[in-house]
Structures are given as structure tokens and as C-alpha cells.
Amino acid sequence: MHIFRTKSVEQTVAETGEEHRKLKRTLNAWDLAVMGVAVAVGAGIFSVGAQAAAYHAGPAVILSFILAAVVCGAAAMCYAEFSSMIPVAGSAYTFTYTTVGEIIAWIIGWDLILEMLMAGSVISKYWGVYLNDFMQLMGIRFNTNIAIGSFHIDVAPIIIVAFFTTLLVLGTKLSARVDGALTILKIAIVIFVIVVGFFYVKASNYSPFIPTSQPAGSVKGATVTGTMTEPLWQWATGMAPSIYGVPGIISGAALVFFAFIGFDVVATTSEEAKNPHKTVPQGIILGLSIVTVLYILVAIVTTGMVSYKDLAKAAEPSLATGFELVGATWAAKIISFGIVIGLTTVVMVLLLGLTRVVFAMSRDGLLPRGLSKTGRHGTPASIQIIGGIVVAIIASCFDIGILSDMVNIGTLSAFTLVAISVPIMRRKRPDVRRSFSIPGNPWVPILVALACFWLMLNLTVLTWIRFVVWLVIGFIIYFGYSYRHSRLGNEKLKDGSPTATIAQ
């Protein structure tokens, strides 16, 4: 079985012109940058820094953000290089198909579906939760939950998913404009909160900057509740979980790293970008730069307003907690509104990314080819509608909080393999045009891959078990359907080739 067959760059690009299966190029660098900011700046910007400070690093969470930004920035450059070379829908799935083979590409595509399906469902669910909270803060009696006997359904996710599914069917450019307007609004809210927060900052709260390391059980919110909730590497080595100190900075980086996720979704839209060889790398790097600055500023404000020890005593530490502890309770309303707006744009970009990955896999025959047909608006309407329905059902009817970590492990596995693929492609195809190249090849991509894998090891044992189950399901589908229906494999059989690898 030729499961490691690869596609050439030329064939991959040529397939984007297939009649009734091509996307319209309507996005510029700013549109792509806004998408990256839209998906990365959500509810997390108001909470993840506070949680990392309280339970992991103390004021040194600022270093955690910088470390995570460096790793994520290097990973972003790997994506930017591939996007400048292969401006095709599918992101990491498409990149790995041209380098390490079909079976690896399938695994990555399957992981990306997991990442974006779970992320879209989780964010849609939380959008409804925060919408209800905001309405209550404003004194409005409002509840989107409906009880039918013992069964509960939340209509809020259905509304938000249906709205953006409709926009995405009508055209990516229209969706990008709505997304851009909402993103500018939420960035304005974040900047306002940061500026106001600086007036409450006290230098004494930054001392000690790196708290002394101590057992995780010494802080209530950081307590590990059993083997399944331990980080995999700690369970494997028998190491006692600890917080603060240098280990806390590293574990804090593992937590806040996921605040930067978003540029990989931007890469899925490469086939819809104008002059993609330049605009995609520019959009990815510009978006990541904006996100990095915003998160570091929020971390500085959060840890400067109140002591990390006080944050650790809160039930759910957040930036709003900091404002409440200094007596500025009015800020909770603004932050709550910012969260609702922030999550709105995240939903749209995740729905877009999910469908573009499925579109690319369908066009290659690894999923039913009928799904990849585009309509008169130049969008894969059938995939968009089906994806929206699935996300809305999961978000409305199921408790999906426990699946949040699946987003993280799916993303990191993709980051790892894309980074490894950079030096492989450089060696296989040094002649292919690259308008952007990551410096320090092959060592920087290898270090990025190792760093991402290390962060994967910091995820819980339970997350790894679920991930393995998802992969097993994926292998069953691949060998039961995808391998036999692969467009690449069928073309080689027609040619009578003894192998299923296209010459590079």
C-alpha cells in the first residue's frame, strides 16, 4: 500500500482551477490579518492571563506570554513559508500532502477537523453563556436556554452559527467585512480596558516577579484531581506537579500558547487571497504581532492591578476580577460586552476554517468529492451548511466544556508536522518559488517542532486518550474509504505506475 504517496506542488496549485471546485480570490493582507486577530482575541484575552498568573507563574506570566509568542511566531513563519509557496485551501493538510505523504496529510486534516469542529462548538456555546451574563449585568431578564422536559437546549449557538453560515455561503469577502467591523470594535474595547487598568497598577504587585516554586496542591485552583488530569509528562516521569518558579513559567506558556492560535486558520483561506504569495505571509505575521502586543499588555495590567495571590483566591480569576478587587466594578459590564463581541468573530473564522479543510480533503477524494462543489458565490455551500448544522447541534445540545483541550492537541500536532515539513520541502524542492522563507533552516523549524511537542506533553492524560481514540476513528475511515477513493491514487492506477508517488 502506497500510503506515503505525495502530490507535487505544481499539481496541488493546478487543481485550484478545477471547474466548479475553485474558490474566488477576494481577500487582501488586511482581511487575513483581521481574521487572525478575530479568532485569537476572544474571551481568553480577559481570563487566560489571570489564570496563568494565579495558578502557574505569578507576575512572571509576562515571560510566559513572551515565550509562547516566540514559539508561536516561529511556527507562524513555517506556515507563512508554505502559504507563500502553496497558496491552496487546507493549510497544514495541504502542506504535508506535498512533503511527507498522504497518510500524514490525512492525520493532520483529521486533526484540523477535530480542532475547528470542537473550537467552533465550544465558542458558540460560550457565546450564549456570556450573552446571558451580559444581559443580566445590564438588568435585562434574558435566557436563551429552553427546557423540554429533562432535555435542555440553548438557542443562542443556533442563532450565531446560522447567521455566519449564511454570510459565508453568500461570500467570503462579505463575511470578512462584517468580521472586520466587529474585530475593530473589540480591539477598541480591549485597548480601553488596558488604558483604564494602568491607572490602578502598583509596582509592589510585581514583587516577587518569579515566585518560589511550590507544590500544586498548595493553591486550591491549581490542585490536580487525579491521574487523568495530570500533564502527560508529569504522569510518565512520576514528577510531583508544581507551580510558580521556572517550571511555572513554562507551564504558564503551555496554557497561554493557545491564546495565540488563529494564524493556522488564516492559512486555510490561502486559496481565496489576492496575490497570495505576499498577502498570506503578511496577513499571518501582522495578525500575530497585533495579538502578541495586546496579550502582553493585558498580562502587565492584570498582574499589576492586584497580587497574583489574590487572583488565586478567586473562583475564576480574570481581568474582571482585578477590576472588582480595586473597586472598579463598572468595568465588568464593559468586559462582558467585549467578550460577547470577541466570541462573535471567533465563531465566524472557525466556521470558515473548518469548511476549507473539509473542502480541500474532499477535492482530493479523501472525503466524498461531491462536497467540494462550489456555488455561484464561489463558496462550498454544501460543506458550509453541513458544518454549521453539526456545530450548532453540538453546541446547543451537549456539555462540551470537557472537550476544550481537544482543540489544543489537534492544533499542536498540526504545528509540529508543518514545522518538520519545512526542511523536508527545502531539500526536495529548492527550486520552488518562496516569497517568504523562515530563517535558520533547518534548526529553527526543528526547534519549533520540539517546542510544540513539548507543549503537547503538558496536556492531560485524559486529553491524550481522547486524541488517540479520535485518531483510531480517522484510520478506520482512511483505510475503509479514503485510500480507495483518493484522486491521487486513482490517477496513478490509470497511468499504470508501479508506485503512487508523483515525481517531484
**47: amino acid identity, one letter:** S
Mean pLDDT value of segment 52-79: 85
Pairing of strands 242-243, 214-215: antiparallel
pLDDT in tens, 358-378: 988 998 999 998 888 877 777
pLDDT at residue 220 is higher than 70: no
Conformational region of residue 496, where left means phi above 0, alpha means psi within -120 to 50, and beta covers everything else = left
* Under 8 Å between Cβ of 382 and 371: yes
Rounded Cα distance, 60 and 66, in Å: 10
| Cell reading at 306 | 492586584
- Whether omega for the bond prior to residue 241 falls within 30 degrees of 0, making it cis, is no
pLDDT at residue 225 is higher than 60: no
pLDDT in tens, 150-170: 677 878 888 999 998 988 888
Q: Measured at the alpha carbon of residue 435, what is the angle toward residues 429 and 437, in degrees to the nearest 5?
A: 65
Closest by Cα among 391, 440, 504 to 12: 504
Q: Measured at the alpha carbon of residue 313, what is the angle toward residues 409 and 43, in degrees to the nearest 5?
A: 45
User: Rounded to the nearest 5°, which phi and psi values hold at 147?
Assistant: -100, 125
pLDDT at residue 271 is higher than 60: yes
pLDDT at residue 107 is higher than 50: yes
Helix (H, G, I), strand (E, B) or coil at 27: strand
Rounded Cα distance, 38 and 176, in Å: 10
Core vs surface per residue 390-400: b (16+ CB within 10 A) or e: ebbebbbeeeb
pLDDT value for 504: 32
Mean pLDDT value of segment 193-199: 88
Core vs surface per residue 465-474: b (16+ CB within 10 A) or e: ebbeebeeeb
Mean pLDDT value of segment 59-71: 87
Rounded Cα distance, 472 and 468, in Å: 6
Rounded Cα distance, 197 and 46, in Å: 12
Q: What domains appear along the chain, each with residue ranges and CATH number?
A: 9-15+30-495 (1.20.1740.10)
Tell me the pLDDT band of 255, cut-offs 50, 70 and 90: confident
pLDDT value for 483: 92
pLDDT at residue 350 is higher than 50: yes
pLDDT in tens, 135-151: 887 778 777 777 776 67
pLDDT at residue 130 is higher than 50: yes
pLDDT value for 224: 52
In this predicted structure, which of 241-245, 401-405, 482-486 has the lowest mean pLDDT? 401-405
Q: What is the pTM of this model?
A: 0.81
pLDDT at residue 230 is higher than 80: no
